[in-house]
A and B are shown apart, each in its own frame.
Chain A
Amino acid sequence: DQQVKQNSPSLSVQEGRISILNCDYTNSMFDYFLWYKKYPAEGPTFLISISSIKDKNEDGRFTVFLNKSAKHLSLHIVPSQPGDSAVYFCAASWGNYGQNFVFGPGTRLSVLP
């Protein structure tokens, strides 16, 4: 049973446009969320986080939105650049003891020049 879902295995976007990556979760106890990007042969690179007390967090070209009632979060990348082409993972955790994150299966983003 997947607790964190990324229903789009892949996404293609034109350079300069907005990329929107989506993530849904089933466990209402999740209270902290992360987004990562991963290039082949490298470990995941942290992009941005959000806690459940917020509904939006921005860092440069990256913005994460959290809709707790819908159990949905999204990552917006504006403007998209060819170097953003990678696999993107969302991850969620809960509880007040430990760093146990559940990862989604990932979405492969291709930014076309």
Chain B
Amino acid sequence: KAGVTQTPRYLIKTRGQQVTLSCSPISGHRSVSWYQQTPGQGLQFLFEYFSETQRNKGNFPGRFSGRQFSNSRSEMNVSTLELGDSALYLCASSSEYNSPLHFGNGTRLTVT
């Protein structure tokens, strides 16, 4: 089975711009979660989607949003980028509740 695929791997954006990150989960996985990893804060939960519905949301401002499509692929959008948004954004998929998350290799976002 193919793993979780995230595109692009690297992005450089300017403050104030917006960005969209993409994630294709493992085939058959209906849950997709997004995490932000920074050196100071570690891995922080952004949100989780299941069957096109946001099921959980972390403590991030409304500039961070996401969606899931009928084929379980997911996108994450960050508007009005700030320097502090520079981070590794990780997508993970899982098959059901209380099952392991399987992560992609992430998108490294740099905001200048």
Contact = CB atoms under 8 A, between A and B. Distances in A.
Interface in A20-54: 31-32, 34, 36, 41-46, 49, 51
B92 to A, nearest CB: 8
Interface residues of A, number: 26
Interface residues of B, number: 27
A69 interface: no
B55 A43 contact: no
A93 B97 CA distance: 10
Interface in B74-112: 90, 92, 94, 97-106
B101 A99 contact: yes
A106 B42 contact: yes
Contact residues of B: prevailing secondary structure = strand
Contacts of B105: 41-43
A89 B100 contact: no
B102 A46 contact: yes
B68 interface: no
A89 B48 contact: no
Interface of B: 4, 6, 31, 33, 35, 42-45, 48, 50, 55-56, 58, 90, 92, 94, 97-106
Interface of A: 31-32, 34, 36, 41-46, 49, 51, 89, 91, 93, 96-106
